[in-house]
A and B are shown apart, each in its own frame.
Chain A
Amino acid sequence: MIRIAELPFRERPLLELLNLDADRDEPEHDYAGYGWARAERLWLATDEGAQEVEDALVLALHTADDAEALPDDIDLEFELPNGPPAAVLASLFLERWLPKLPRDPSAVVLVLCNPHAAELRWPAASPAPVWYAHGDVTSWLDRATHDVHLVGARWQRLSG
């Protein structure tokens, strides 16, 4: 069985990672791509407004719509090229993977749906404040400015 540290969680170009490299009007509902990227700047948006985050380490992840509701964790799901998908708790995934990723970002952004509004705990391995959302998260690209916008019901910031 594959180990958490062996998941093919790779660096990808930001727009490709967020499925913004093709022109479509609406976010793809069943997009399953994952990985990480650096972003010079992006916007964390809600219905009330948006915040700009600079120099971010962006982690694109997925959870199943019917994943178990956990008060302080999210069950991640990774499609694998050969074999069934893998499930792993976000806390465990971050504990294993954050130390392997760049250590100099100013913020870490988890691009991840959180259908049960779990209140995540600060991942001690994070090199910077962590942003995550409640509710569905979708990615958008401003066609004019090429700014990336991540829309969620509410964005939360964790820091150590």
Chain B
Amino acid sequence: MISRLKHLATALAVVVPLSAVTACDTSPPGGERVERWAATHNTNVAIDWDKVNEAYKAANGPEDLEKRINEIYEGDEVISVAVQDTDDKTQVVTGFFDKNTNGTVEEPEKIFTIKRDITGEGQAQYQTVGYGPYYGYHSPFLSIVSGMVVGSMLSNMFMPSYRPMYTQPYTTPGHRVGQLQQSRSAYRAANPSKFQRSQSGRTYNRPSSTSRPTGRTGGGFRGGGRFGVSRAGRAKPVRLSA
């Protein structure tokens, strides 16, 4: 039998993610919506991932990016940023809560990464992935092409003379955290309407990978399994090579 593939972008659209991470929409399609919030680690505060993705696109450098991201974030913590060019084509930006203010990324502090890859001449893509309390968020692969209006943090990579600038990573220094907090306070004071939502309630993005597909027939969906395993409480695996 020959495989038959059909595009059904409209006939079987899956639910567009709501704006936030650890929530599960338990509503039947077309029925009453019941949103259930999963417990998170140290924060339940919303992050508008679309704005984070736009901030990366528009940033003129790591300092500009960390300022933009902290203006987006509605919580009390300051988000530090690490930027590293891992090779000629790949840049990884890590957002983290530098809880011990040592200016280095530690795994439990990570809240997101943005990975940018140059995919061809004048072409690149990036994807944002959530960690910790934002685990489960994956942005689509977002394309960037030469000629688009982007900040110099991205546009530099299309210059003929481009050389990775952050082979030695940039990380928000501990002393800058206070500056970012002050700068954000001023921004919030100047834009009170943007922060009304966090006063009345919290919203969350739902992980796209657990988005419930919307039914073509309205019959609803039964959940099965997730095909990853959590490390917590599990024995260390034995590696097989033969």
Contact = CB atoms under 8 A, between A and B. Distances in A.
Interface of A: 1-4, 7, 18-20, 23-33, 43, 45-56, 60-66, 77, 79, 83-88, 92, 106-107, 111-113, 115, 117, 128-129, 134-145, 149, 151-154
Contact of A54 (B1, B8, B215, B219): B1
A138 B222 contact: no
Contacts of A24: 222-224
Interface stretch (B76-84, B159-167, B203-211): B203-211
Contacts of A144: 215, 217-220
B186 interface: no
A31 B224 CA distance: 8
Contacts, number: 227
A155 to B, nearest CB: 10
B110 to A, nearest CB: 11
B209 A138 contact: yes
**Nearest 4 Cβ contacts at the A-B interface:** A144-B219, A31-B225, A136-B209, A139-B224
A141 B217 CA distance: 12
B17 A47 contact: yes
Given A27-B210, A140-B221, A52 B140 contact: no
A139 B225 contact: yes
20 contacts: A3-B240, A4-B240, A19-B225, A26-B26, A27-B224, A28-B223, A47-B16, A51-B6, A51-B8, A56-B3, A65-B135, A84-B238, A113-B209, A115-B228, A134-B138, A136-B207, A138-B224, A144-B215, A151-B209, A153-B208
Q: Main SS of chain B's interface residues?
A: loop
Nearest to A51: B5
A84 B209 CA distance: 28
Contacts of B201: none
B196 interface: no
Interface in B34-52: none
Given A51-B8, A151-B210, A151-B213, A106 B3 contact: yes
B8 A52 contact: yes
Nearest to A55: B1
Interface stretch (B67-75, B187-195, B229-237): B229-237
B213 A140 contact: yes
A33 B241 contact: no
A49 B212 contact: no
Contact of A18 (B208, B224, B242): B224
B239 interface: yes
Contacts of A18: 224-225
B7 A51 contact: yes
Contact of B14 (A26, A29, A92, A151): A151
A50 B223 contact: no
Contacts of A3: 240, 242
Contacts of A29: 226, 230
Q: Which of A3, A30, A83, A112 has the most CB of B within 10 A?
A: A30
B169 interface: no
Nearest to B1: A55
B10 interface: yes
B230 A65 contact: yes
Nearest to B217: A144
